[in-house]
Structure 1
Amino acid sequence: MSRLAGKVALVTGAARGQGRAHAVTLAREGADVVAVDIDAQVATVPYDTAREDDLRETAAAVEALDRRILARTADVRSSAALAEVVAEGLDAFGQIDVLVANAGVFSQAPFWEMDEQTWDDVLDVNLKGVWRCMKAVAPHMVGRRSGSIVLTSSVNGFRGNPGAAHYAASKHGVLGLMRSAALELGPHRVRVNAVCPGLVDTPMVNWPGLYDRMAGRPGGTRADFEAAALHYGILGGQGGLPPETVADAAAWLASDGAWAVTGQAIAVDAGHLALPGFNPAPLAP
């Protein structure tokens, strides 16, 4: 397939999980890739964050598809680092046609027990980091009067998440940012959309605290996660989604096939948002 032949895509959070799926899928569609991820632990995040070795694996996977890749460690909490990567990408490839602003983190605690650093880290990566990435590429796209920006929000961009209010707030914010940027960039023929994943099987959900949450008790296991995931969507037999499912949607939004699509939030959630829902903890009268 070659829907993105001749294009260059910048992907953040590209070292593993959903970000790696984006990088590899875009490469399979014909794009060259600028891949960015952190090489450090975010202190308040309860699972291991990406390392340079992970990013090298992504680079190898892209190169195996006979596409070019510039892989760099950078933190989306640093505008200077992102500006440097964009400049290097433009020097290497001459253009950046696509941005997939995917980098994100998760943690959980009741909002009234959460310390400010935990709140700030999630908002700084998930929302302000997305803004920094857009800010870094927008002048180039405006100058060329061409570009597609795809932001990673979440089904939590549409509804609350008890125990992760900061995460839901960040993902709601991404949708507000997307819609505002679509209005600002539309006259310059730059499109801005968002993908809103449901339960995607990545390192972000594979750690003991999330297993406990899915099990509804301490001591949760991967088996508990898999059993609970079957109840998440409405497609029979579908549990946690492979990250490539979201990457396929992002690749379409990035392509000229979606030339008339902007300002849209596309849920990739096996129908989760269509569920009527229920009160998980009713109180007796």
Structure 2
Amino acid sequence: MRLIGQHTLITGGSSGIGQAIAYRFAQEGARVTVAGIEDGALEETVQSIHASGGEAIAVNADVRCKSDVERMVSEAIAAFGPIDTLVNSAGVCKPAPFLEIEEEDWDLHIDVNLKGSFLASQAVAKEMSKTGRGSIINISSVNGIASEGDQVHYNASKAGINSLTMSMALELAPLGIRVNGVCPGFIETRLTKPLIDNQEAISAYLKTIPLGRVGLPEEIAAAALFLASQDAAYMTGHSIVVDGGQLIKLS
């Protein structure tokens, strides 16, 4: 119960990695604000947390929209008080060859993945600065370190998040705010299910992962929990790679 009495706001918290983080943080005693754009999935996540004895609320918000983000933060604080941890997990990934990427798809990846992390972080950091403490965790990707094909827009957005993490950490440290990131490798989520269900494709892909298996969202949640806890009190500006060793081969 490392987060008792704390309040965590999680964007993209209704599915995949974000949802796993919401569940794990609630198990550790945090009051959780789960934000996203899918009302049904948000409510299911919140109800699951309630069923296990945790505290949570859902807020419908599009991280691409500043007014939505500001409302999200206001509703979170109104419900559970000052935000101790922000997890920027909202993201999209729609693979396509570089020469076929449409402008709107480029904008979508940059706006959701990178701009969304910026807007949420700025809004929450302003509030954290009033208390002189806080932790911001950006969910990035190994693709922000070593690129994969057919994902130029995704790769660029995640590389931007890694830079954002370091830059924010530098500026926010004097305010008592730590900023770190997690770079997942290939994780079993709704986005990766089509590849996982393709036996031939997944068999080939697993050869790029030294540990020889797909990662679980819960394993990313464990890394995020470490960064949010006092165990990481002297860490800021770094991103933890959780990828089964995949980056070794990608680089």
* TM-score normalised per structure 1: 0.85
2:234 counterpart of 1:234:
no
Contact 2:146 2:250 in 1 (8 A): no
Do the aligned residues in 2 keep the contact of 1:199 with 1:229 (CA within 8 Å)? no
- Number of aligned pairs? 251
Q: State the match for 1:256 in structure 2.
A: 230
Look up the SS of the partner of 2:74 in the other structure. Answer: helix
1:92 aligns with 2:79: yes
What is the Cα-based RMSD across aligned positions, in Å? 1.4
3-state DSSP of counterpart to 1:175: helix
- Structure 1, unaligned runs of 5 or more: 39-50, 215-220, 278-285
Shift of residue 260 of structure 1? 0.2
Matched residue type, 1:12: T
Alignment of 1:89-238 (within 5 A): 89-207=76-194, 211=195, 221-235=197-211, 238=212
3-state DSSP class of the match of 1:108? coil
Moved over 6 A (4+): none
Using the alignment, how far apart are the partners of 2:65 and 2:52 within structure 1?
A: 31
Deviations 1:12-41 (A, max 9, x none): 111111111010011111100000011xxx
Q: What's the CA shift for 1:223?
A: 2.3
Higher share in helix: 2
Letter paired with 1:8? H
State the TM-score, normalized to the length of structure 2.
Answer: 0.96
Larger Rg: 1
**Alpha-carbon displacement from aligned partner over 1:40-96 (angstroms, at most 9, x marks no partner):** xxxxxxxxxxx3211112112211232211101111111111111111111111110
User: What is the Cα deviation at residue 225 of structure 1?
Assistant: 4.6
Query: Does structure 1 retain, via aligned residues, the 8 Å contact 2:188–2:216?
Result: yes
Structure 1 residue 275 corresponds to structure 2 residue 237? no
1:177-219 per-residue CA deviation (whole Å, 9 max, x = no partner) reads 0000000000111000000000000011123xxx3xx8xxxxx
Given that 1:232 and 1:239 are in contact with CA atoms closer than 8 Å, whether structure 2 keeps it comes out as: no
Structure 2 residues without counterparts, runs of 5 or longer: none
* Contact 2:178-2:236 within 8 A present in 1 as well: yes
* Residue-by-residue CA offset, 1:76-126 (whole Å, 9 max, x unaligned): 111111111111111111110000000000112222221100100011001
CA distance in 2, matches of 1:241, 1:229: 13
CA distance in 2, matches of 1:224, 1:14: 31
Percent of residue pairs bearing the same amino acid type: 41
- In structure 1, how many angstroms separate the alpha carbons of the residues matched to 2:99 and 2:205? 28
Q: Which deviations, in whole Å up to 9, do the C-alpha atoms of 1:151-193 show, x marking residues without a partner? A: 0110011011211101000000001100000000001110000
